[in-house]
Structure 1
Amino acid sequence: MNTTSNLALTLPKRRNALLVTALLSALSTMSAQAQEIIPPQSDTVIVTGTRSIKRTVSDSEAPVDILTSKDLQSTGSGELATVLSRLLPSLNFPRPAVADGTSASRPAQLRGLSPDQTLVLVNGKRWHTSAVVNVNGTAGRGSSPADLNTIPISSIDKIEVLRDGAAAQYGSDAIAGVINIILKKGAEGGAVQVGGGQYSKRDGTQASLSANFGTALGEKGWARFTAEQRNQNETNRAGADFRNPLEPLYGRVNQVQGDPKLQQTNLGVNASLALATDIELYGFANYSRRSTDAAATWRTAYSTGTTLRTPLYPNGFLPNEAGTNTDVSVVGGVKGRTDGWRWDASVNYGSSEFSLDINNTVNLSLGATSPTKFYAGKLKNTQTLANFDAAREIEFAGLANPLTLALGAEYRRDQYEIGAGEANSYFGSGAQGFSGFQPSNAGSFSRHSTAIYANVEAELNKQLSASLALRHENYSDFGSVTSGKLSGRFAFTKEFALRAAASNGFRAPSLAQQNYTISTTNLITINGSSQLVDTGTFGVATAAAKALGAVPLQAEKSRNYSLGAVLQPSKNATLSIDAYQIDIDNRILYSGNLVLPAALQSVLAQQGVLVGAARYFTNALDTKTRGVDVVGSYQIPLSGTDKLGFTVAYNHNDTTVKNVAANPAILTQNNLLLIDRQTINRATEATPKDKFSIAADYAFANWNIHGLATRYGSFVSPQNSVALDQTYSANTVLDLAASVKLGKWTISAGVDNLTDKYPDQVTSAGNLNSGGTLPYSTFSPYGFNGRYYYAKAAYTW
Structure 2
Amino acid sequence: MIRIRRLTVAIAASLAALPAAAQSPKDADSLETVIVTGTRVVDRTVSESTSPIDIITPAALEATGTIELATALARVLPSLNFPRPAISDGTDAVKPAQLRGLAPDQVLVLVNGKRRHTTALINLNDSQGRGSSPVDLNAIPIAAIERVEVLRDGASAQYGSDAIAGVVNIVLKGSDKGGGLSARYGQFSAGDGEQYQLAGDAGFALGERGFLHVAGQAGHNDQTDRARPYIGAPGPAAPPYDKVVQRYGDPEIDQGAVSYNGEFGVGERASLYSFGMASNRDVLSNGFFRPAGDSRNIPAIYPNGFLPNIHNVSKDRSIVAGLRGVLGADWNYDVSYNYGYNKLSFDIENTLNRSLGPTSPTAFYAGSLEVTQNVANVDFTKPIAVGWLEYPITFAFGAERRDEKFNQSPGELGSYVDGDGPVNTPPGAQVFPGFKPEDAGHRDRSSWSVYADFEADLTDKLSAGVAGRYEDYSDFGTTTSGKFSARYAFTDAVALRGTVSSGFRAPSLQQQFFQSTATNFIGGVPFDVRTFAVDNPTAIALGAEPLKAEESTNYGLGLVLSPAEGLYVTIDAYRIDIDDRIILSENLIGPAVTAFLETRGIFGVTGGRYFTNAVDTKTTGVDVIGTYKWTFASGEVDWTVGYNYSKTKIERIAPNPPELTAGGLNLQRIGRVEQGRITIGAPRDKVLLGGVWKTGDWTFSGTATRYGEFSALNASPALDQTFGAKWTVDVSASYQLDRWSFTLGGDNIFDAYPDEFVFATSNGGQLPYPRNAPFGFNGAFVYGKVGYAWE
Q: TM-score range by the shorter chain?
A: over 0.9
Q: Which residue of 2 aligns with 1:539?
A: 533
Match status 1:363 vs 2:353: yes
Deviation for aligned residue 1:216: 1.9
Match status 1:434 vs 2:429: no
C-alpha distance in 1, partners of 2:264/2:146? 19
C-alpha distance in 2, partners of 1:168/1:521? 41
Kept after mapping to 1: 8 A contact 2:384/2:395: yes
Match status 1:169 vs 2:158: yes
Q: Which residue of 2 aligns with 1:264?
A: 255
Q: Which residue of 2 aligns with 1:30?
A: none
C-alpha distance in 1, partners of 2:684/2:438? 42
C-alpha distance in 2, partners of 1:380/1:248? 37
Deviation for aligned residue 1:39: 3.3
Q: Which stretches in structure 1 are left out of the alignment for 5+ residues? A: 9-19, 24-35
1:378-433 alpha-carbon deviations (Å, 9 max, x no partner): 00011100001110111112223111000010000010000000000001211001
Q: Which residue of 2 aligns with 1:92?
A: 81
TM-score (norm 1): 0.93
Name the CA shift for 1:751/1:571 in 2 (closer, same or farther; >3 Å): same
Match 2:377 to one of 387, 393, 418: 387
Match 1:563 to one of 531, 537, 557: 557
Q: Which residue of 2 aligns with 1:552?
A: 546
Equivalence map 1:324-473=2 (5 Å): 324-339=313-328, 340-428=330-418, 429-473=427-471
Q: Secondary structure at the match of 1:58?
A: helix
Kept after mapping to 2: 8 A contact 1:535/1:613: yes
Deviation for aligned residue 1:724: 1.4
Equivalence map 1:251-330=2 (5 Å): 251-303=242-294, 309-330=298-319
C-alpha distance in 1, partners of 2:540/2:200? 52
Name the CA shift for 1:108/1:7 in 2 (closer, same or farther; >3 Å): closer
Match status 1:53 vs 2:42: yes
Deviation for aligned residue 1:310: 3.2
Kindly, what percent of the aligned residue pairs are identical?
46
1:674-723 alpha-carbon deviations (Å, 9 max, x no partner): 11111111101001000010110000101100111100000011212322
1:609-650 alpha-carbon deviations (Å, 9 max, x no partner): 65210000000100000000111111012115x111101111
C-alpha distance in 1, partners of 2:388/2:34? 25
Q: Secondary structure at the match of 2:764?
A: helix
TM-score (norm 2): 0.94
Kept after mapping to 1: 8 A contact 2:4/2:52: no
C-alpha distance in 1, partners of 2:122/2:171? 27
C-alpha distance in 1, partners of 2:323/2:683? 44
Match status 1:118 vs 2:111: no
Equivalence map 1:675-694=2 (5 Å): 675-694=670-689
Amino acid at match of 1:731: K
Deviation for aligned residue 1:60: 1.6
Kept after mapping to 2: 8 A contact 1:121/1:127: yes
Amino acid at match of 1:480: T
Deviation for aligned residue 1:522: 2.2
Kept after mapping to 2: 8 A contact 1:405/1:454: yes
Equivalence map 1:152-191=2 (5 Å): 152-191=141-180
C-alpha distance in 2, partners of 1:325/1:144? 14
Deviation for aligned residue 1:749: 0.9
Amino acid at match of 1:145: P
Q: Which residue of 1 aligns with 2:697?
A: 702
Kept after mapping to 1: 8 A contact 2:538/2:600: no
Q: Secondary structure at the match of 2:263?
A: strand
Equivalence map 1:1-12=2 (5 Å): none
Kept after mapping to 2: 8 A contact 1:58/1:566: no
Equivalence map 1:747-766=2 (5 Å): 747-764=742-759
Q: Secondary structure at the match of 2:48?
A: coil
C-alpha distance in 1, partners of 2:746/2:250? 18
Amino acid at match of 2:254: Q
C-alpha distance in 2, partners of 1:667/1:610? 21
Amino acid at match of 1:414: E
Q: Which moved more, 1:712-721 or 1:201-210?
A: 712-721
C-alpha distance in 2, partners of 1:535/1:275? 57
Q: Secondary structure at the match of 1:435?
A: coil
Amino acid at match of 2:439: N
Amino acid at match of 1:452: V
Q: Secondary structure at the match of 2:511?
A: helix
Match 1:779 to one of 772, 776, 780: 772
Equivalence map 1:641-660=2 (5 Å): 642-660=635-653
C-alpha distance in 2, partners of 1:546/1:122? 39
Q: Secondary structure at the match of 2:50?
A: coil
Match 1:577 to one of 568, 571, 583: 571
Kept after mapping to 1: 8 A contact 2:593/2:606: no
Match status 1:236 vs 2:225: yes
C-alpha distance in 2, partners of 1:196/1:793? 9
Kept after mapping to 2: 8 A contact 1:436/1:520: no
Q: Which stretches in structure 2 are left out of the alignment for 5+ residues? A: 6-10, 15-24, 419-426
Q: Secondary structure at the match of 2:275?
A: strand
Deviation for aligned residue 1:602: 4.0
Deviation for aligned residue 1:441: 0.2
Deviation for aligned residue 1:604: 5.2
C-alpha distance in 1, partners of 2:706/2:593? 50
C-alpha distance in 2, partners of 1:311/1:399? 85
C-alpha distance in 1, partners of 2:716/2:29? 51
Kept after mapping to 1: 8 A contact 2:119/2:136: yes
Q: Secondary structure at the match of 2:443?
A: strand
Match 1:666 to one of 653, 659, 669: 659
Match status 1:712 vs 2:713: no
Deviation for aligned residue 1:86: 0.3
Kept after mapping to 2: 8 A contact 1:472/1:483: yes
Q: Which residue of 1 aligns with 2:484?
A: 486
Kept after mapping to 1: 8 A contact 2:683/2:707: yes
C-alpha distance in 2, partners of 1:259/1:179? 25
Deviation for aligned residue 1:600: 6.3
Deviation for aligned residue 1:187: 1.4
Name the CA shift for 1:7/1:39 in 2 (closer, same or farther; >3 Å): closer
Kept after mapping to 1: 8 A contact 2:239/2:245: no
Amino acid at match of 2:133: S
C-alpha distance in 1, partners of 2:4/2:372? 39
Kept after mapping to 2: 8 A contact 1:7/1:626: no
Match status 1:74 vs 2:72: no
Amino acid at match of 2:633: S
C-alpha distance in 1, partners of 2:344/2:593? 36
1:270-329 alpha-carbon deviations (Å, 9 max, x no partner): 11111111100000010010000000011111126xx97432001010001010000001
Name the CA shift for 1:605/1:228 in 2 (closer, same or farther; >3 Å): farther
Kept after mapping to 1: 8 A contact 2:371/2:405: yes
C-alpha distance in 2, partners of 1:335/1:601? 61
C-alpha distance in 2, partners of 1:704/1:248? 50
Corresponding pairs, count:
760
Higher relative contact order structure (alpha carbons within 8 Å, sequence separation ≥ 6): 2
Q: Which residue of 1 aligns with 2:18?
A: none
Kept after mapping to 1: 8 A contact 2:594/2:607: no
C-alpha distance in 1, partners of 2:199/2:646? 37
Deviation for aligned residue 1:242: 2.7
C-alpha distance in 2, partners of 1:39/1:377? 52
Name the CA shift for 1:74/1:599 in 2 (closer, same or farther; >3 Å): closer
C-alpha distance in 2, partners of 1:505/1:714? 30
C-alpha distance in 2, partners of 1:45/1:268? 24
Q: Secondary structure at the match of 2:72?
A: helix
Over the aligned positions, Cα root-mean-square deviation in angstroms equals 1.8
Kept after mapping to 1: 8 A contact 2:310/2:348: yes
Kept after mapping to 1: 8 A contact 2:554/2:574: yes
Q: Which residue of 1 aligns with 2:17?
A: none
Amino acid at match of 1:515: F
